[in-house]
Amino acid sequence: MKYCYECGNKLINKELENEGIIPYCEKCGEYRFPIFSTAVSMIVENADKTKILLIQQYGKKNNVLVAGYINKGENAEAAVIREVMEETGLKVKTMYFNKSEYFKNTNTLMLNYSCTVEDESLDHLNTVEVDKAEWFTHEQAVDNIKKNSLAERFLLNYLNNL
């Protein structure tokens, strides 16, 4: 970051106690830390972890992972539970952190979790946000997930580390 996002002034490097050298706006009198969004994405599995849920959204025919932005003040684990419930109507039972990756297109740090849900019913799918949801075996999930996507990298990383 070269310029202040509040006033446009050129930033200088200034030492901040316990943090090191941080960009600083002399006009605002504020340190300017990098700004980006944070989101969670989930490899949703059934209780015995034999099947993975992939979804299609916004009229696109790609199979992707359930995902959503973390609200300000919310922790990542709460966002996992909330987003899975909001999009699929399923209740998260267990979750484990998998991998993170920065997604340049939306300036978002994506935190990927694997999580299991209590049942496999898709009767309470949020049809406003999700066009289609389907359970796949591990093999089918690898074949059907959107190619060369962040979702694919998260899924392959997860399955390769089982």
Q: Which residues bind Zn ion (CB under 5 A)?
A: 4, 6-7, 9, 25, 27-28
Phi, psi of 36 (to 5 degrees): -160, 165
Residue with smaller CB distance to Zn ion, 31 or 36: 31
Residue with smaller CB distance to Zn ion, 28 or 156: 28
Looking at this protein, which amino acid is placed at residue 41? Answer: S
Residue with smaller CB distance to Zn ion, 3 or 97: 3
CB 106, min distance to Zn ion, A: 25
CB 95, min distance to Zn ion, A: 39
CB 143, min distance to Zn ion, A: 50
* Helix locations, 33-149, DSSP H: 76-88, 138-144
- Tell me which residue has its CB nearest to Zn ion: 4
Q: What angle do CA 2, 69, 162 make, to 5 degrees?
A: 105
Separation of alpha carbons 162 and 159, rounded Å: 5
Residue with smaller CB distance to Zn ion, 21 or 78: 21
CB 1, min distance to Zn ion, A: 11
Buried b (16+ CB within 10 A) or exposed e, 94-108: ebeebbeeeeeeeeb
Task: Output the CA torsion 74→80→85→90 (10° steps).
Answer: -150
Separation of alpha carbons 42 and 58, rounded Å: 18
CB 30, min distance to Zn ion, A: 7
Residue with smaller CB distance to Zn ion, 28 or 122: 28
